[in-house]
Amino acid sequence: MSVPEYGRAFGLWREAARTEWAAYTRHAFVEGLKDGTLPRECFLHYLVQDYVFLVHFSRAWALAVVKSETLEEMKSAAATVDGLVNHEMRLHVGICEEAGIPEADLYSASESTANLTYTRYVMDAGLSGDFADLMAALAPCVMGYGEIGARLAGEATADTPYRDWIETYAADDYQQLCRDVGGMIDRALERRIGTDFAAAPRWAQLSERFATATRLEVDFWQMGWDRS
Ligand SMILES: Cc1ncc(C[n+]2csc(CCO)c2C)c(N)n1
């Protein structure tokens, strides 16, 4: 199956980090979601941590509003904050409630080291850098789940109990969001760095940020797998 396309910068970053990208999008945790063999306890451990992750991710997207230079960037970042805090976190709340974990416990859950490392890395990318640095650190999260969802929707076993999770990210509206964010990132880079942004001196540093965030996604799956 061919992978979905989410923009020029993303395609180049992904290709430059292909080893890390494969470790992320084909992690044992992901394969367990696909064939249904992922232990429920691992999934719930991941989901509680992911709720906390989304809280801090929303803060990072809010920083993107602050670092925006155009109304398009501001609208995209503000819509993502709204989507995250008012919609995306519902999937987590619903599944956890069914498992007897109330929302108050999610918000107060203590953060795993993998969670802390990843979210604060992204926040620092935005605080110490500009909008482009922040987008390079945010892109693996947004696009990685889009790619995983699209692949698993076609490959998952019919009876995997993780179908709802898969459908969330395989859905047309989520795939469209990945393309929209990819287009917004391309225009943000063209504006700040130039049309030929991949030839610019700072391109290597942006690619490095993307690769680092991708490695931190691998560690996040591993945290769920190990229940650490
Ligand atoms: C560890 C981890 N990485 C990525 C996502 C996916 N994700 C995070 S924020 C967001 C919406 C961005 O618009 C999406 C899809 C996740 N849930 N947990």
Identity of residue 14: R
Contact predicate 4/178, CB 8 Å: yes
Phi-psi region of 227 (alpha: psi -120 to 50; beta: other; left: phi over 0): left
CA distance 189 to 66: 17
- Contacts by 163-168, CB closer than 8 A, 24 or more apart: 164/91, 164/95, 165/33, 165/91, 165/95, 166/33, 166/34, 168/91
Report how far ligand 1's centroid is from the alpha carbon of 104 (Å).
Answer: 21
- Residue 1 — pLDDT band, cuts 50, 70, 90? low
What tokens appear for 41 in the block? 């306890």
Report how far ligand 1's centroid is from the alpha carbon of 192 (Å).
Answer: 26
pLDDT of 120-169, one tens digit each?
999 999 999 999 999 999 999 999 999 999 999 999 999 999 999 999 99
- Contacts by 91-98, CB closer than 8 A, 24 or more apart: 91/164, 91/165, 91/168, 92/47, 92/48, 92/50, 92/51, 92/54, 93/51, 95/44, 95/47, 95/164, 95/165, 96/44, 96/47, 96/48, 96/51
Tell me the best of 24, 76, 88, 180 to mutate to test the pocket of ligand 1, counting ligand atoms within 8 Å of each CB and taking the most: 88
CATH number of 8-226: 1.20.910.10
Give the residue whose CA is nearest to atom 12 of ligand 1: 142
Report how far ligand 1's centroid is from the alpha carbon of 139 (Å).
Answer: 10
Report how far ligand 1's centroid is from the alpha carbon of 145 (Å).
Answer: 7
Among 164, 122, 155, 166, residue whose Cα is nearest residue 141: 122
Contact predicate 221/21, CB 8 Å: no
Ligand 1 pocket, CB under 6 A? 50, 53-54, 57, 80, 83-84, 88, 141-142, 145, 177, 217, 220
Residue 21 vs residues 4, 12, 86, 122, 208: alpha-carbon distances, Å: 14, 12, 29, 17, 13
Atom number in ligand 1 closest to CA 118: 1
- pLDDT at residue 188, as a whole number: 98
Say what the pTM is.
0.96
pLDDT of 23-37, one tens digit each?
999 999 999 999 999
DSSP state letters, 20-72 = HHHHHHT-HHHHHHHHS-S-HHHHHHHHHHHHHHHHHHHHHHHHHHHH--SHH
Is 17 strand, coil or helix? coil
Atom number in ligand 1 closest to CA 145: 6
Atom number in ligand 1 closest to CA 144: 4
Report how far ligand 1's centroid is from the alpha carbon of 159 (Å).
Answer: 24
pLDDT of 59-101, one tens digit each?
999 999 999 999 999 999 999 999 999 888 888 999 999 999 9
